Amino acid sequence: MTQAADGLAALEAQLQQDLEYLELPAKSWVPAHTYNGESVRDVVVLGAGMCGLAALARLQLTGISNVVAYDAAPAGREGPWVTFARMETLRSPKNLHGPALGLAQLTFRAWFTAQWGKAAWQALDKIPKDQWMDYLIWYRKVLNLPVHNNVRVTGIAQVGELIALDLSGAETGRVYSRRLVLATGRSGLGGFAVPDFLSKVDRRFWAHSADNIDFDALRGKRVAVIGAGASSMDNAATALEYGAAAVDLLIRRKEMPRINKMTGIGSQGVIHGMHQLPDAWKWKFVDYTATTQTPPPRASTLRVSRHANARFFLDCGIKAVQQQENGLLIETTQGALHYDYLIAATGFTNDFNGRPEFAAIAPHIRSWADGRYQPIMGPARQSMLEAPDLGPAFEFRERTPGACPILAHIYCFNDAAMLTHGKVSGDIPAVSAGADRLVRGITASLFSEDVEQHYASLQDFATPELQGDEWVDATPLLKQENAL
Ligand SMILES: Cc1cc2nc3c(=O)[nH]c(=O)nc-3n(C[C@H](O)[C@H](O)[C@H](O)COP(=O)(O)OP(=O)(O)OC[C@H]3O[C@@H](n4cnc5c(N)ncnc54)[C@H](O)[C@@H]3O)c2cc1C
């Protein structure tokens, strides 16, 4: 595939023209704030993966320009795509608008076609994952987004009405912000979901699917992968391709999930309507999806099953894992099995206490378990009970009113928001709609907080539209006429 650099330059010029036509970015309108003489950010975005970039872009386009995103990862290595995502291509179809924010020239399709042409676009099946990262790198560059890489936020605290953020890495010290967006990714506010039976097993013998795994070391080894989702297929396939002697997928379910239900009913109605539904309906949708589960993509499954040394064990629940001198003895509902290594493709959790940087706010975050869930809605499911109970713009709510007021200024723009907001803050399809909802909320809240200054600006504004020479006051003439 040949690449046309001038095609990309032309696309970038067209994008700039479109932005100009649409008067974007809008003029900056948020009054500057300081704290002890230091300037205060209007918004800090924590995380510069796809959601963080979309949020940052939407903020800038809306004229909220005193913003920055921090990401612990080096530039170009944010999120899973070139780190722990072990699929060959994206799981979603190629034509999704993703983070394009309604701007056609900002879509993956425009970026791809500008460089490789329409025929190559037609021939493309799914987007190679590394190429998706290249697109996100371009997105950030072409919009000139202020991302500071290699900076980890290690703590969050309330200082007056502000949010103080402690930084480490390429930048250190404390910065202050009026609003904070948590675009911290799939693990949301928690971390890896790890089954109890692994809690005492030495890390030499197992990894989570999102860990940095040394697959070279698995050559010639017997590997077990727990789970039947996309990540279990990707990790099993990678182990097989690196020369593992045998890879077994241990799947608790009696049958593989085969139908992607939520994708099946995807529509603008779902995107914009789900968050307005009564809570009982939200619960019903998410519970049903969790029960039916999302199948792994067909291509990812075939990438495993084409290896003769791959085996799928269904109805194979794990009862216990015993660490032995040179490996693991796994007692399953189908009998005992021996392995050298285990990969737990067991997903992520919203346990707020799982991330040290959120320690100060975690105990105060209201979740669905704190009264929003009622048994009449359906079965109590732990992963849903621990979901944060968010406001209409993704803002957290306090468990005890008054205990941590800054939560109302911290926005949960990640996968953990799904139960309250639908799937608009994690996956590619509706991230632009999510960023829009988020930024409308932040806009309204900043405007209302500064209302006195805006009113003073209204009073102070003194640039005349009329110079006074555009008309003649005819009242004296009328008086003269009446006097006659
Ligand atoms: C393996 C995998 C494959 C996926 N494939 C698809 C797919 O094909 N289609 C689809 O629609 N969705 C897919 N998803 C789901 C979703 O699109 C991705 O998870 C996507 O990366 C979400 O973007 P994000 O910005 O929310 O999080 P991320 O891309 O994970 O970005 C979060 C960022 O936050 C940073 N961060 C976190 N904490 C801190 C901190 N304290 N300080 C500084 N930085 C911090 C991290 O370094 C990271 O770069 C996939 C997810 C995974 C895990």
What is the model's pLDDT at position 191? 84
Alpha-carbon span 9 to 372, nearest angstrom: 51
Helix (H) / strand (E) containing 418: helix 418-421
- Closest atom of ligand 1 to CA, residue 132: 8
Q: Ligand 1 center to residue 48 CA distance, Å?
A: 9
- Closest atom of ligand 1 to CA, residue 185: 27
Question: Dmax of the chain from CA atoms?
Answer: 119
Lowest mean pLDDT among 170-179, 186-195, 292-301: 186-195
What is the model's pLDDT at position 69? 98
What is the model's pLDDT at position 89? 97
What is the model's pLDDT at position 196? 95
Options 3.50.50.60, 3.30.479.30, 3.40.50.300, 3.30.465.10; CATH of 5-190+349-451:
3.50.50.60
**Res. 282: pLDDT tops 90:** yes
Cα-based distances in Å from 239 to 42, 205, 235, 242: 46, 14, 6, 5
Protein residue with least CA distance to atom 2, ligand 1: 85
Cβ pair 390, 397 in contact under 8 A? yes
- Closest atom of ligand 1 to CA, residue 151: 43
| Candidate of 44, 51, 438 to mutate for ligand 1, largest count of ligand atoms within 8 Å of Cβ | 51
| Candidate of 45, 58, 71 to mutate for ligand 1, largest count of ligand atoms within 8 Å of Cβ | 71
**Percent of all residues in the chain with a pLDDT value above 90, rounded to a whole number:** 94
pLDDT tens digits, residue range 133-173?
A: 999 999 999 999 999 999 999 999 999 999 999 999 999 99
| Candidate of 186, 225, 350 to mutate for ligand 1, largest count of ligand atoms within 8 Å of Cβ | 186
What is the model's pLDDT at position 355? 87
Cβ pair 163, 180 in contact under 8 A? yes
Residues with CB under 6 A from ligand 1: 46-47, 49-52, 70-73, 78-80, 85, 90-92, 152-153, 183-186, 231, 357, 414, 426-428
Cβ pair 348, 211 in contact under 8 A? no
Q: Ligand 1 center to residue 54 CA distance, Å?
A: 12
What is the model's pLDDT at position 484? 79
Question: Is 81 exposed, middle or buried (CB count within 10 Å of its CB: 0-12, 13-18, 19+)?
Answer: buried
Protein residue with least CA distance to atom 19, ligand 1: 186
Q: Is the dihedral of CA 152, 158, 159, 163 positive or negative?
A: positive
Cβ pair 64, 30 in contact under 8 A? yes
Q: Is the dihedral of CA 75, 76, 79, 80 positive or negative?
A: negative
What is the model's pLDDT at position 425? 96
**Res. 176: pLDDT tops 80:** yes
Alpha-carbon span 163 to 396, nearest angstrom: 14
* Mean pLDDT confidence for 124-130: 97
* Mean pLDDT confidence for 368-383: 96
Q: Ligand 1 center to residue 204 CA distance, Å?
A: 26
- Closest atom of ligand 1 to CA, residue 70: 43
What is the model's pLDDT at position 295? 96
Q: Ligand 1 center to residue 423 CA distance, Å?
A: 14
Say if strands 162-169 and 151-159 run parallel, antiparallel, or are unpaired.
antiparallel
**For the chain, what are the domain ranges?**
5-190+349-451, 196-258+295-344
- Beta-sheet strand order (sheet of 222-226): 206-208, 341-344, 222-226, 246-250, 310-313
Protein residue with least CA distance to atom 33, ligand 1: 47
pLDDT tens digits, residue range 316-356?
A: 999 999 999 999 999 999 999 999 999 999 999 887 777 89
Protein residue with least CA distance to atom 53, ligand 1: 80
Return mean pLDDT, the chain.
96
Nearest residue to 435 via CA among 48, 44, 59: 59
**Percent of all residues in the chain with a pLDDT value above 70, rounded to a whole number:** 99
What is the model's pLDDT at position 186? 84
What is the model's pLDDT at position 393? 98
Which CATH superfamily is 196-258+295-344 part of?
A: FAD/NAD(P)-binding domain (3.50.50.60)
| Candidate of 50, 271, 357, 414 to mutate for ligand 1, largest count of ligand atoms within 8 Å of Cβ | 50
pLDDT tens digits, residue range 185-208?
A: 987 677 889 999 999 999 999 999
* Mean pLDDT confidence for 360-375: 96
Q: Ligand 1 center to residue 245 CA distance, Å?
A: 31
Residues contacting 151, CB < 8 A, separation 6+: 70, 71, 72, 167, 168, 169, 170, 171
Alpha-carbon span 144 to 57, nearest angstrom: 9
